[in-house]
Amino acid sequence: MPSDWAAELHGVTRHYGRGGAAVHALRGIDLALPAGTFTAVMGPSGSGKSTFLQCAAGLDRPTAGRVVLGGTDITGLSENKLTALRRTRLSFVFQAFNLLPSLTVAQNVMLPMRLAGRRPDRHRCAEVLAQVGLADKARRRPSELSGGQQQRVAVARALVARPDVVFADEPTGALDTTTAAEILALLREAVDTQGATIVMVTHDPTAAAWADRVLFLADGQLIDHLDRAPASHIASRMTTLTTHARPAA
Ligand code: ADP
C-alpha cells in the first residue's frame, strides 16, 4: 500500500565526531509528516534544526536510523540515486533565494526540471508564476526584482514539479515583515489548494504560526509540538525552551 506519509524519520540520530568529543546533534528523532501539511521546526540555536532538515531532505546521512521520503527508504541509496530522488521528488527554499543571476525568472523556475532530465513544461511554469503573482516577470532577471519577488520565484521553482516535500530553511529570514507574510501566505496556499507538503525551519514564531503543526527541538530531541497555535503561544513555548535548554557544549 502506498504510504500516506510524505516523510518519515525512524530513530534518526546524527553525531559529529567520535568518542568523548562527539557532538550529538540529533538524538533519536521519530516523526511522520502527513502529505498535504505544513510543519514548522523551531528550537534554540544549536538544538539540531539544520541537521534535522539536512537529514530529512537526504542532504546528510544520519549516523543511525531511517529516513523514508514519499514511501522510499533513502537509507541505503547510493549517492547517485539520492541525488536523482532529491531532484525529482524534493525541493528547497532558502533564506538567500539562491537564484541563478544569468537565467531569466522562467529559466530559474524550470531549472530543476532540466536538471532532472525532464522536458521543461512551459505551461506549468506560467501557472506557478501566476500563482506567486509574477506572471508578467517571466523574462526578467533576478537582479531586476525585489527581494520579496526573488523569493516568490524561489517558491515557484519549489512548486513547479509538484514535489513530495518542500523543505524551507528560514525562507523569510531576509525579508521585512510584510513581504515575509506574503511569502508565508503563498506557502500556506500551496498546502491548502494543491496539497503540497512543506517542512520549514524558522526561529520566528510569527512565521511558524502559519504552519499546521510546530515541532520543538531541544538538544537534538523533539520535545513538544503545538497545533494551529497563534504566534504568542509559540513564542512563549520557545521562551521556556530557551530557558531550560542545556548550554551548547
Ligand atoms: P541549529 O540549526 O538548531 O542551530 P545545528 O543542527 O546547526 O543546530 O547544530 C546542532 C549541533 O551540532 C550543534 O551543537 C552544532 O555545533 C553541531 N554541529 C552542526 N554541524 C556540525 C558539524 N559539521 N561538525 C560538528 N558539529 C556540528
Domain annotation for the chain: domains and CATH numbers: 5-92+165-244 (3.40.50.300)
Q: Taking all residues of the chain, what is their mean pLDDT, rounded to a whole number?
A: 93
pLDDT on residue 249: 47
Instruction: Work out the average pLDDT over 130-142.
Output: 97
Beta bridge partners of 214: 40, 226
Query: At residue 143, does pLDDT exceed 90?
Result: yes
pLDDT in tens, 208-242: 999 999 999 999 999 999 999 999 999 999 999 87
> Would you place residue 20 in the very low, low, confident or very high pLDDT band (cuts 50, 70, 90)?
confident
**40 has which bridge partners?**
200, 214
Query: Once rounded to an integer, what is the mean pLDDT over residues 19-34?
Result: 94
The residue whose CA is least distant from atom 10 of ligand 1 is: 48
Res 242: pLDDT:
75
Q: What is the pLDDT of residue 245?
A: 52
Which residue has the CA at smallest separation from atom 13 of ligand 1? Answer: 46
Place of cell 534518526: 12
In the structure, what pLDDT confidence band is assigned to residue 74 with cuts at 50, 70 and 90? Answer: very high
* pLDDT over threshold 70, residue 248: no
Q: Which atom of ligand 1 is nearest to the CA of 26?
A: 10
Q: How far is the CA of 130 from the centre of ligand 1 (A)?
A: 38
Question: Exposed (0-12), middle (13-18) or buried (19+): which is 176, by Cβ within 10 Å?
Answer: exposed
Residues with CB under 6 A from ligand 1: 16, 23, 25, 43, 45-51, 248
Amino acid found at 93: V
CA of 68 to the centre of ligand 1 (A): 22
Answer whether residue 179 shows pLDDT above 80: yes
Among 16-20, 31-35, 74-78, 245-249, name the one with the lowest average pLDDT: 245-249
Mean pLDDT lowest among 16-25, 156-165, 179-188: 16-25
- 64-70: average pLDDT: 96
Measured in residues, the chain has a length of 249
Residue minimizing CA distance to atom 24 of ligand 1: 16
Max Cα distance, the chain (Å)? 57
Atom of ligand 1 nearest to the CA of 220: 10
| Whether residue 12 has pLDDT greater than 90 | yes
Report CA(249)–ligand 1 centroid distance (Å).
11
| Nearest residue (CA) to ligand 1, atom 5 | 48
User: What integer pLDDT is reported at residue 18 of this predicted model?
Assistant: 87
CA of 61 to the centre of ligand 1 (A): 14
What's the confidence (pLDDT) of residue 244? 58
The three-class DSSP label of residue 120 is coil
3-state secondary structure of 241: helix
Distance 29 CA to ligand 1 centre (A): 15
Within a 10 A sphere around the Cβ of 205, how many other Cβ atoms?
21
User: Model confidence over 181-210: pLDDT tens digits?
Assistant: 999 999 999 999 999 999 999 999 999 999
Average pLDDT of the residues in 95-107: 96
Write the DSSP string, 133-154. T-GGGTTS-GGGS-HHHHHHHH
The residue whose CA is least distant from atom 11 of ligand 1 is 25
